[in-house]
Amino acid sequence: MATGKRSSSKRAARKRSKRTWRWRLLQAALYTTLFAALGVAGYLVYLDRTITGTFDGRRWSIPAQVFAQPLELHAGAAIGPYALQAELQRLGYQLDPNLAAPGTYKRRGATLQIYLRAFKFMERSRPSQRIDVTFSGQHVKAVFNEAGEVPLIRLDPATIGSFFPAHGEDRLILTPDQVPPLLAAGLKAIEDRDYDRHAGFSIRGILRALWVNLRSGERQQGGSTLTQQLVKSYFLDNRRTISRKLQELAMAVILEARFSKEDLLTAYINEIFLGQNGSRAIHGFGLGAHFYFNKPISELDVSEIATLISIIRGPSYYNPFRHPQRARERRDRILQTLGRDKLIDQQQLSAALSQPLGVVASPISGGAYYPAFMDRVRAELKRYYDLESLSSEGLRVFTTIQPRKQEAVQRAVSLTLQQIETDRGLEPGLLQGAAIVADAQTGEIQALVGGRKGRVDGFNRALSAQRPVGSLIKPVVYLTALEAGLHLASPVEDTPVTVSPKFGDQWSPKNFDGEYRGTLPMVRALAESLNLATVNLGLEIGLPRIHQRFIGLVGRAPANSYPSFLLGAESLAPIEVLQMYGNFASGGFRTVPKAVIAVLDAQGRPVSHHPFDLQQTVALEHVAAINHALEIVMAKGTGRSSPYAKRGVAGKTGTSNDNRDSWFAGFDNRQVSVVWAGRDDNAITGLTGSSGALRIWNQMAAAEPIDPLQHLQNTPLTEVEYQTGLRARKSCADVVRLPIPRAAVNTMPVKPGCGIATGLRGRLQRWTGG
């Protein structure tokens, strides 16, 4: 009996234990489900806030657009019909005999008819309009619009870049009303047929893509919706895992719930990756139109829109530059789909299928992208704006670059270096170069070349390559001598000199040819770049005084405090040399080189102006004297090999120790230029300033006419013998005409037998040139 009760009690205990275990298991399952649901809900809330905030902040973040100087057309402008036609093609204008729309032109005899695009300039907006440009030779004769002759009109400026975050993505943002209807409809037809119906993902789309791909034997369609593709581009990396796919689906559903279909499609059109140009990633159809076709998206035809859509599936695989046949085949399949869906008619389909791809000749020839110049623009804008403002507020930056000149200078650098390598049997690509051209009076940078490959981001030698300038420093020594009371005919000694500094070894410089010339005038010593004469003169004046003069010209103290500074053992970047020689070119004013003219906000209101930074540094009589001397450098000295030496150009060559660096700095009445050539590893090149940098400048000068220097009208000039500095007549001596103070002229010695006659005889000789 007792045994039965114990057995019953055990069974009851086991039942209670099972019920307790089941209840605890159920509780655990409930809590797990609850916590999982809370976790998923929390994660979804987190995703919602994150992607909504990010998307809202980014979809209308409009990067600052950067514009070049527009080409001005007016009577007398130095441009012929073929050059203007090339400029229109650079801006993406299309030849159209009907002149049917803005962005087209046609030629009729000696007249170019242009349908200008509308553009919002700094001062005012200009509507689209038709103009006629007539020519007389290689100059504009007159410009007419519908109202009659106009004194001046500007082409729309080239867009040369934009500011997007530093990861290298670049794009031109389109608003919904700027999206061509065929592009929007075509994207849905090719990439996502259920776009207008699904909630972020499409089971039908996945199954349809699977069926098409199985039938074709290749991946022709993807299963991801446009919204999923947008999520991948905005928020996710390229990993292919189940968790990432689930995250993608969740994000797509949230975006669809939060934003309209039109907003999502426009964001996709602005975001999608379409190619790579060096370190610059091409995103969005707005920039893609410029990159591949060199024109705004509003001017693309049916074939070109289909080409851009074809690139989406694989920007590398369907790259029209590298794989034109593959890209054309895919474009044609897309055109067939557009025709089948009645998005284009049969006539449009036939015309589009017959067209070539029509992309620009190469990735670097589409549009205008000048990374070296953009480096300078960034540096200037950093003083006023943070990256967030530049990348999101739709600022419009107007700059100083002139694309025609930029292209000409880039060609001169690249082709001349190539020719020098060929002439000297050097390894191709061994030499590098840099060049800058600026307005002589304002310092506005019109062209800036940072290396041989102009449209590839990389080390910017024009701004960052600090190299010894060699004899480019010598005008600073001679200017200081002029300010100390000497004149260009003052005698200097080209004789051996040894300097014994307080610290370090003795220094015994030599002339380039190892010879000594004795006593000679300052102007000859500078023209022939004589080292010994320069060192003797510099030591006589005093190195501290010359250092102070350098500070006044360049705006910073020299790094070299030793006498070797007198021969250019001082490293400067080309942009600093430009500033130094700008003092001479401007007539005695230091002008900080500038790239930015003004910045406007998205509504066209001025945000900031960037005025000229002018400071007088040299007296007029002294800058006039040094400019005359630099003209003689070109005519009779180290610059005489240039075909432009005697056309009113002032300049100076420079060579660093062991012929490692080749320099030239020069200017005419309109612009100042600096050129450097050398090697990135600082190895010996064997080039002098004349055999390297001057050759590059010669090619630059060939691209546009020299504007001869204009000297002060009231500056009296005295004829002196070039070899000796004695007063003489050109009928009996090799003379140069120099601005010498009147008091000094009266005490100058005269060359025996070649004196200056006075009275009636003297007037007759001057009239007859005797």
| Rounded Cα gap, residues 703 and 652, in angstroms | 20
For the segment 294-317, the average pLDDT, to the nearest whole number, is 93
Give, in degrees to the nearest 5, the angle at Cα 474 between 473 and 476: 75
**Res 607: pLDDT:** 80
Q: Are 227 and 187 in contact (CB under 8 A)?
A: no
Tokens representing 298 are: 């509003």
Mean pLDDT of the chain: 86
Minimal CA–CA distance to 129: which of 149, 148, 115, 144?
115
Give, in degrees to the nearest 5, the angle at Cα 664 between 365 and 499: 145
Contacts of 172 (CB under 8 A, 6+ apart): 65, 159, 162, 284, 286, 287, 290
H helix and E strand count, the chain = 24, 31
In this structure, which long-range contacts are made by residues 253-258, counting pairs with CB atoms below 8 Å and at least 24 apart in sequence? 253/199, 253/200, 253/201, 254/44, 254/47, 254/48, 254/51, 254/52, 254/200, 255/51, 255/55, 255/200, 255/227, 255/230, 255/231, 256/198, 256/199, 256/200, 256/227, 257/199, 257/200, 258/48, 258/52, 258/55
The three-state secondary structure class of 43 is helix
Confidence of residue 151 (pLDDT cuts 50, 70, 90): very high
* DSSP string of 685-749, one letter each residue: ----TTTTHHHHHHHHHHTS--------TT---EEEETTT--B--TTTS-EEEE---HHHHTT--
Q: Please give the C-alpha separations between residue 519 and each of 15, 529, 726, 733, in angstroms, as whole numbers.
A: 125, 15, 12, 18
The three-state secondary structure class of 53 is helix
pLDDT tens-digit map of 70-89: 999 999 999 999 999 999 98
Confidence of residue 126 (pLDDT cuts 50, 70, 90): very high
Confidence of residue 209 (pLDDT cuts 50, 70, 90): low
Task: Tell the residue number behind the tokens 């929007």, with chain if given.
Answer: 184
> Which range has the worst mean pLDDT, 230-244, 562-576, 756-770?
756-770
The residue ranges of DSSP E strands in 318-410, in sequence order, are: 396-399
**Res 185: pLDDT:** 94
The three-state secondary structure class of 613 is coil
Please report, as a single letter, which amino acid is at residue 259: F
**Res 7: pLDDT:** 61
Contacts of 88 (CB under 8 A, 6+ apart): 105, 112, 114, 155
Residue bearing the bigger pLDDT, 120 or 39: 120
Torsion angles phi and psi, residue 224, rounded to 5: -75, 140
Residue 631 has pLDDT above 70, yes or no: yes
Element (H, E) at 8: helix 2-59
Confidence of residue 250 (pLDDT cuts 50, 70, 90): confident
Element (H, E) at 495: none
Q: Are 650 and 679 in contact (CB under 8 A)?
A: no
- Please give the torsion angle defined by the CA atoms of residues 504, 505, 511 and 516, in that order, rounded to the nearest 10 degrees: 120
| Rounded Cα gap, residues 635 and 708, in angstroms | 13
Give, in degrees to the nearest 5, the angle at Cα 119 between 114 and 124: 120
How many residues would you count in the chain?
770
Tokens representing 371 are: 């990374």
**Res 362: pLDDT:** 61
**Res 759: pLDDT:** 41
Q: What is the number of other CB atoms lying within 10 angstroms of the CB of residue 178?
A: 15
What single DSSP character describes residue 750?
B
| Rounded Cα gap, residues 567 and 522, in angstroms | 15
Residue 644 has pLDDT above 80, yes or no: yes
Torsion angles phi and psi, residue 32, rounded to 5: -60, -45
pLDDT tens-digit map of 281-300: 888 999 899 889 988 899 99
**Res 199: pLDDT:** 74
**Burial classification of residue 394, based on how many CB atoms lie within 10 Å of its CB (0-12 exposed, 13-18 middle, 19 or more buried):** middle
For the segment 573-585, the average pLDDT, to the nearest whole number, is 98
In this structure, which long-range contacts are made by residues 688-692, counting pairs with CB atoms below 8 Å and at least 24 apart in sequence? 688/653, 688/655, 688/659, 688/662, 689/470, 689/471, 689/472, 689/638, 689/652, 689/653, 689/654, 689/655, 689/662, 689/663, 689/664, 690/638, 690/639, 690/641, 690/653, 691/420, 691/662, 692/420, 692/662
Helices (H), 321-370: 324-340, 346-354
Confidence of residue 229 (pLDDT cuts 50, 70, 90): confident
The three-state secondary structure class of 357 is coil
Angle between helices 2-59 and 242-258 (to 10 degrees): 60
Helices (H), 60-117: 81-90
| Rounded Cα gap, residues 437 and 445, in angstroms | 6
Torsion angles phi and psi, residue 160, rounded to 5: -105, 0
Confidence of residue 760 (pLDDT cuts 50, 70, 90): very low
| Rounded Cα gap, residues 284 and 598, in angstroms | 27
**Res 768: pLDDT:** 40
The three-state secondary structure class of 406 is helix
Tokens representing 411 are: 């060609």
**Res 150: pLDDT:** 95
Please report, as a single letter, which amino acid is at residue 495: T
Task: Tell the residue number behind the tokens 């002060």, with chain if given.
Answer: 712
For the segment 704-720, the average pLDDT, to the nearest whole number, is 88
The three-state secondary structure class of 170 is strand
Between the two ends of the chain, the Cα-to-Cα distance in Å is 158
Q: Are 156 and 71 in contact (CB under 8 A)?
A: no
Q: Are 278 and 66 in contact (CB under 8 A)?
A: no
**Res 367: pLDDT:** 53
The residue ranges of DSSP E strands in 538-618, in sequence order, are: 571-572, 589-591, 596-600, 606-609, 614-616
Residue 253 has pLDDT above 90, yes or no: no
By percentage, how much of the chain surpasses pLDDT 90?
A: 61
| Rounded Cα gap, residues 453 and 410, in angstroms | 8
Give, in degrees to the nearest 5, the angle at Cα 94 between 90 and 97: 145
Rounded-to-5 percentages of helix, strand, coil across the chain: 45, 20, 40
Residue 692 has pLDDT above 80, yes or no: yes
**Res 195: pLDDT:** 85
Q: Are 644 and 706 in contact (CB under 8 A)?
A: yes
For the segment 652-664, the average pLDDT, to the nearest whole number, is 96
pLDDT tens-digit map of 213-222: 566 655 555 5
Check: pTM over 0.95? Answer yes or no. Answer: no
**Res 456: pLDDT:** 73
**Res 29: pLDDT:** 63
Residue 163 has pLDDT above 80, yes or no: no
pLDDT tens-digit map of 494-519: 999 999 877 668 899 999 999 999 99
Confidence of residue 44 (pLDDT cuts 50, 70, 90): low
Catalytic residues: 191, 471
Q: Are 305 and 184 in contact (CB under 8 A)?
A: no
Q: Are 248 and 236 in contact (CB under 8 A)?
A: yes
Minimal CA–CA distance to 675: which of 528, 461, 477, 512?
461
Q: What is the number of other CB atoms lying within 10 angstroms of the CB of residue 670?
A: 17
